[in-house]
Amino acid sequence: MINFQYPKITEEMVNIALKLYGSGGTSSKAIVEPYPTAVERLKLAFIEMVNTLPDPTYWQSIEPYEEHKKTVHTSVQRSCCTI
């Protein structure tokens, strides 16, 4: 979970939740990446997405190009899944 308005508060809350819910025994471990790693992965996914369609107002110009549309679609999905 990444919050762009209050990233430091969110990081602290996530760390508290991981300590609280991830320490209740072997079956309750939280399987998540550390907050800084998640933020870096999201940043890289956004960079990839922007590189596939630098100016989103030109989305209609790629309509006839199926391969380019697939590339843009895939990069948007990766960004969404990273969040």
pLDDT digits (tens, 9 = 90+) for 29-81: 556 778 788 888 888 988 988 888 888 888 888 888 888 889 988 888 888 77
CB 72 within 8 A of CB 58: no
- Pick 25 or 10 by higher pLDDT: 10
Count helices and strands in the chain by DSSP H and E runs: 3, 0
Instruction: Tell me what pLDDT residue 22 has.
Output: 63
> Cα separation of 58 and 17, whole Å?
42
2-11: b (≥16 Cβ within 10 Å) or e: eeeeeeeebb
Evaluate if residue 28 carries a pLDDT over 60: no
Longest Cα separation, the chain: 54
pTM of the model: 0.54
